[in-house]
């Protein structure tokens, strides 16, 4: 292992990275709180400012993937459509098979200049999560309880609020509703058999209602739907912990443009057909190791690294100064308190990483699908 690789794997480096992320994130959340006074005065200014503030947080995660891990990201698409990416509003359908698929989605948002304004359909519990959850609140992210009878009205209203959004945005959506596991796949295919739907080998059945409502509410705002299928070469099993350790991955993403019918039932049928096509592309990828399209590597932009360096310079100096003063004081109580904070910080970091781990994912898709079979 080279010296840089060794340093990337050291816990102290991880702790410093997480310190910068947590402290800068809380500072930005605090600033976002004060932007609320702009909402009744100038809503569009409020939105533009919060897009930039959100970028300061989410770009730090992308920096880990692009610059710290050095993960290669290749896009397979039609060159004729390539120039449209980032210059139009779009709904992006992402498969949900990997622990860092959300991070790869953010990576491509960054490379096409829409990271700060990107949207997601997220579970309500995430809105209470400090830093990212609070950041999403100010970005007008659409949160749902995963109980459609309760969610429909709220989701529609929040989506309609985005129709006058001043920035180009990508609305990222995992139509499967939960991350793929073998157990969830088995249950999902039992539901497919019961409903007379074709079975999928590499995906769960898509949840059509949320997607149909998203298309309906954003039809006059969104120019296209991007069907994106993410894979990693050489049977790599990427994790956020691996990224933090500086492990390099090789991501391939396929994005064609699609047209979606207006009728809700036709939209549902279209989505099921799309997932059958995605399954076929997945089969082809596992067989050949590539997608049937032109590979393009979108240029990596420097802004994620520059943003992180800014916060590192701003926050590390007072930390080191405080540490030196504590050591010089020679107080056992002070040093013990500092050690306690370090331990709690490491626990907090591990908890945040654990949120992304597949084996600690939600049970959504297990219990819900079982109930549908009864």
Asked, for residue 312, whether it belongs to a domain, the answer is no
For 254-258, 266-270, 297-301, which range has the lowest pLDDT when averaged over its residues? Answer: 254-258
Report the relative pairing of strands 257-258 and 224-232 from DSSP bridges.
antiparallel
Cβ atoms of 283 and 202 within 8 Å: the answer is: yes
Asked, for residue 318, whether it belongs to a domain, the answer is no
How far apart are the C-alpha atoms of 341 and 22, rounded to whole Å? 13
Asked, for residue 56, whether it belongs to a domain, the answer is yes
Cβ atoms of 215 and 260 within 8 Å: the answer is: yes
The dihedral sign for the CA sequence 102, 105, 111, 113: negative
Report pLDDT digits (tens) over 82-132: 999 999 999 999 888 888 888 999 999 999 999 999 999 888 888 888 899
If you average pLDDT over every residue of the chain, what do you get?
86
Asked, for residue 322, whether it belongs to a domain, the answer is no
Percent of the chain with pLDDT over 70: 89
Compute the average pLDDT of residues 315-320: 86
Asked, for residue 333, whether it belongs to a domain, the answer is no
Asked, for residue 353, whether it belongs to a domain, the answer is no
The predicted structure's pLDDT at residue 11: 81
Cβ atoms of 225 and 271 within 8 Å: the answer is: no
Cα-based distances in Å from 201 to 198, 204, 256: 10, 8, 21
Number of domains in the chain: 1
Q: How far is CA 275 from the centre of its chain?
A: 20
Asked, for residue 186, whether it belongs to a domain, the answer is yes
Model confidence at 359, pLDDT cuts 50, 70, 90, reads low
Domain that includes residue 107, residue range: 3-305
Compute the average pLDDT of residues 172-186: 88
pTM for this prediction: 0.87
The predicted structure's pLDDT at residue 372: 47
Q: How far is CA 267 from the centre of its chain?
A: 25
Task: Output the CA angle 162-165-166, nearest 5 degrees.
Answer: 175
pLDDT at 152 over 60: yes
Compute the average pLDDT of residues 1-16: 82
How far apart are the C-alpha atoms of 170 and 175, rounded to whole Å? 15
Asked, for residue 336, whether it belongs to a domain, the answer is no
Task: Say how many C-beta atoms besides its own lie within 10 A of residue 255's C-beta.
Answer: 25
Q: How far is CA 353 from the centre of its chain?
A: 13
Report pLDDT digits (tens) over 123-142: 888 888 889 999 999 999 98
How far apart are the C-alpha atoms of 32 and 305, rounded to whole Å? 22
Report pLDDT digits (tens) over 34-74: 999 999 999 999 999 999 999 999 999 999 999 999 998 89
Give residue 246's region: left, alpha or beta (phi > 0; psi -120 to 50). left
Domain of 217: which CATH number?
A: 3.40.1130
Task: Say how many C-beta atoms besides its own lie within 10 A of residue 315's C-beta.
Answer: 18
Q: Record the tokens describing residue 174, joined without a space.
A: 């995992």
Helices within 78-207 (DSSP H only):
79-82, 101-111, 132-138, 148-160, 182-195
Report pLDDT digits (tens) over 212-257: 889 889 988 998 889 888 899 888 888 888 888 888 888 888 777 6
Q: Record the tokens describing residue 73, joined without a space.
A: 């990201």
């Amino acid at each position: 292992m080279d010296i840089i690789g060794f340093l990337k794997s050291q816990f102290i480096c991880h702790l410093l990275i997480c310190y910068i992320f947590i402290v800068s994130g809380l500072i930005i959340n605090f600033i976002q709180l004060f932007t609320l006074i702009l909402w009744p005065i100038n809503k569009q200014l409020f939105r533009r400012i919060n897009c930039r503030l959100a970028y300061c947080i989410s770009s730090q995660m992308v920096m880990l993937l692009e610059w710290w891990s050095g993960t290669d990201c290749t896009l397979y698409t039609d060159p004729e459509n390539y120039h449209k990416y980032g210059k139009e509003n779009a709904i992006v359908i992402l498969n949900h098979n990997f622990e860092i698929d959300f991070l790869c989605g953010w990576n491509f948002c960054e490379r096409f200049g829409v990271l700060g304004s990107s949207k997601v359909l997220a579970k309500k519990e995430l809105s209470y999560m400090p830093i990212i959850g609070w950041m999403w609140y100010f970005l007008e992210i659409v949160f749902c309880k995963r109980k459609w009878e309760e969610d429909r009205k709220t989701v529609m209203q929040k989506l309609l609020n985005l129709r006058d959004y001043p920035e180009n945005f990508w609305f990222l959506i995992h139509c499967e509703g939960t991350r793929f596991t073998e157990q969830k796949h088995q249950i999902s295919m039992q539901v497919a058999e019961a409903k007379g739907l074709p079975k999928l080998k590499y995906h769960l059945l898509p949840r059509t209602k949320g997607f149909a409502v998203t298309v309906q509410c954003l039809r006059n705002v969104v120019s296209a739907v991007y069907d994106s299928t993410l894979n990693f070469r050489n049977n790599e099993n990427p994790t956020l912990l691996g990224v933090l350790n500086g492990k390099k991955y090789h991501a391939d993403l396929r994005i064609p443009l699609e047209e979606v019918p207006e009728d809700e039932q036709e939209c549902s049928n279209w989505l099921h057909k799309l997932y059958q096509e995605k399954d076929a592309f997945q089969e082809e990828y596992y067989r050949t190791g590539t997608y049937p399209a032109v590979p393009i590597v979108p240029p990596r932009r420097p802004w994620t690294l520059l943003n992180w360096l800014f916060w590192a310079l701003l926050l590390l100096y007072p930390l080191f100064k405080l540490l030196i003063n504590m050591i010089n004081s020679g107080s056992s109580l002070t040093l013990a308190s500092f050690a306690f904070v370090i331990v709690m910080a490491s626990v907090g970091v591990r908890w945040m990483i654990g949120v992304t781990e597949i084996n600690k994912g939600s049970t959504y898709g297990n219990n819900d699908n079982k109930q549908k079979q009864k």
